[in-house]
Structure formats: structure tokens, C-alpha cells
Amino acid sequence: MKKIGFIDYYLDQWHANNYPQMIRESVFKNRFDVVLAWAEIEPEGKKSTDQWCAEQKVAKAASIEEVVEQCDCLVVLAPNNAERHDDLADLPLKSGKPVYIDKPIAPSLAAARRLFEKAEKYGTPMMSSSALRFGSALEKAIKETINGQAVRFAATRGDGIFPIYAIHLVEMLVMLLGAGARQVMQCGTEHAPLMLVDYADGRRGVVNLFPSHPYQISVQYADKESLVIDVMDDFFPRFIEAMLAFFESGRSPVPKEQTLEIAALIEAGIAALRTPDRWLPVCGQ
């Protein structure tokens, strides 16, 4: 049984509250378990680290060093505080042990690059991704329906605030359109941001966040073919399986180039929220 350790900014958030049970119910349940956790802070109104650990049947660590030393696989969480990943992932990325960094990997392309550079320097396998990447409907559409044909336009929709939740839509968009975006424009409203993504060769993408909107994708590919994906109900179990398979193999299923492109698009999209209806360049990789 391989030991998984959690390193978090604070533990009482959706991912930390649900990942342990998902891992214990996965096809890898006899090979992995969450055994140790550490959190930097205990915000007012949230469960304490002691309470969280008792409820999740996970031991409390005294330090990040203890988690890194005692565990075989490391999960750096803080899904709502990507700005903390640089610090929280520092020791894990120097350990040589497989590290999963929760979404979004970083608030900027430069920060994402630093994480990859550190992992590569110390020979540490690293993975970061939105769970939406692993939905079976999207995977099937890419492999069987689109099947290598050129995607010219894709629109993704879902809910949540842009800095934290746009990752889910941008991840799927990059899977469909690839890298190389040159500029973005925010042209939605305060409560429904809509980001246009423009490519030099004429490809276009849309990332649209609505309050309480289900995840959905529309794709135009080949010459005049199109498809709609509006049923996405299995991405979290499949994501957990992908993460555990990564821990076992040390090989991330997510291309580094795509993760960097996603970080660049989120950074540009956040900046574009301050200057609506204007194109802003996407930092190159």
C-alpha cells in the first residue's frame, strides 16, 4: 500500500474533503491510501486540521517535511489559492517522489514554468490538471469523432468565478484547439464573463462562465462538422484514477506544453477582465 500525503493551505475545502473517499473507492483502492496531511492555516469558520484529520481518518503531520519524508506520493492542494503553490510545492518538488499539484497549477505562466523547472532539476515526476480533462465523453469525441481532424472553433461553458474555475473550461479548450493562442478578449458581463481566444491561423475559442451553468462544449471541426458535449458526469472518478496511475508509473498523462498554455491563457484572461472589449496578448511559452 503506497502512502499519499496531502499538503494544503487549509484542508476544509471541496477537494480535500472528497479526494480521500474517492481514492478509497477507486480501482486503485488496494494500492493507495491518504495517510498524512498538513495545512498551513485554519481559517475562521472552517474545520480545524485536527477535526478534518479525525473525520477523514488521516494522521496530522507537524510539517511539510514530515509529509515528504513519510509518504510515497504527494498531493499539493490549495485549489483556491494557486499563488501558494510555489511555496507549498517547494520541498515536494525536490523530493524525487511523484507530485500532483491541484488546479490551477499557478496564477501565471512564469510561476508554472518555475514549478516545471524545479521538478525537472530534481527528477521529480509532476502532474497538474483540471478533472474535466478526463471525462469519457470528451475523450471519446477527441479519439473517435474528431479523430485528428482540424478543430477550427470550440466553445466551453460552465460556472464559477474566472480566476479559480476558468481552468476547467480552458483545459478542455486547449485539448481541442492545442497551443499557440496569440491574444484574448474579455467581452462578457460581470456575472457571465466570456473570453475569446484568438490564434494566428484563424482558430477561435470561447470560454464562458455562467452562474450554476452545467459544463458543456460545442466544437466545429473538419470543414462543416460539429458536435456538442453536454453530459459530463464521470470526470472526477476518472481523474482520480489518472492521478493514481501517474503515482504508480511516474508518467503524467498531461502534456507539459498544454499545462503551460493553460497557465498563460488564465493569466491573460485575468488581466483582460480589467480591460474588457480589448485584445490582450498571451505570453509565449
Amino acid making up residue 225 = E
Claim to verify: residue 102 and residue 152 sit in the same structural domain: no
Structural domain boundaries enclosing 41: 2-128
Are the beta carbons of 184 and 206 closer than 8 angstroms? no
| Residue 55 confidence (pLDDT) | 98
**124 domain-assigned:** yes
pLDDT by 10s per residue, the chain, length 285: 999 999 999 999 999 999 999 999 999 999 999 999 999 999 999 999 999 999 999 999 999 999 999 999 999 999 999 999 999 999 999 999 999 999 999 999 999 999 999 999 999 999 999 999 999 999 999 999 999 999 999 999 999 999 999 999 999 999 999 999 999 999 999 899 999 999 999 999 999 999 999 999 999 999 889 999 998 989 999 999 999 999 999 999 999 999 999 999 999 999 999 999 999 999 864
Claim to verify: residue 115 and residue 142 sit in the same structural domain: no
Claim to verify: residue 142 and residue 277 sit in the same structural domain: yes
Claim to verify: residue 92 and residue 199 sit in the same structural domain: no
| Residue 224 confidence (pLDDT) | 86
Claim to verify: residue 35 and residue 123 sit in the same structural domain: yes
Q: How far apart are the two ends of the chain, measured CA to CA in Å?
A: 39
| Residue 140 confidence (pLDDT) | 95
What CATH number has the domain bearing residue 58?
3.40.50.720
Q: Which of 83, 51, 49 is nearest to 67 (CA)?
A: 49
| Residue 154 confidence (pLDDT) | 97
| Residue 260 confidence (pLDDT) | 97
Are the beta carbons of 51 and 18 closer than 8 angstroms? no
| Residue 74 confidence (pLDDT) | 98
Q: For the chain, what is the domain count?
A: 2
Claim to verify: residue 152 and residue 275 sit in the same structural domain: yes
Claim to verify: residue 103 and residue 167 sit in the same structural domain: no
Alpha-carbon distances of 163 from 116, 204, 284, rounded to whole Å:
21, 21, 20
Claim to verify: residue 11 and residue 47 sit in the same structural domain: yes
Claim to verify: residue 170 and residue 113 sit in the same structural domain: no
Give the 3-state secondary structure of residue 93. Answer: helix
Domain boundary residue, one of 128, 155, 170: 128
What CATH number has the domain bearing residue 225?
3.30.360.10
Are the beta carbons of 111 and 144 closer than 8 angstroms? no
Strands 126-128 and 204-209: unpaired
CA distance 192 to 13: 24
**57 domain-assigned:** yes
The model carries a pTM of 0.95
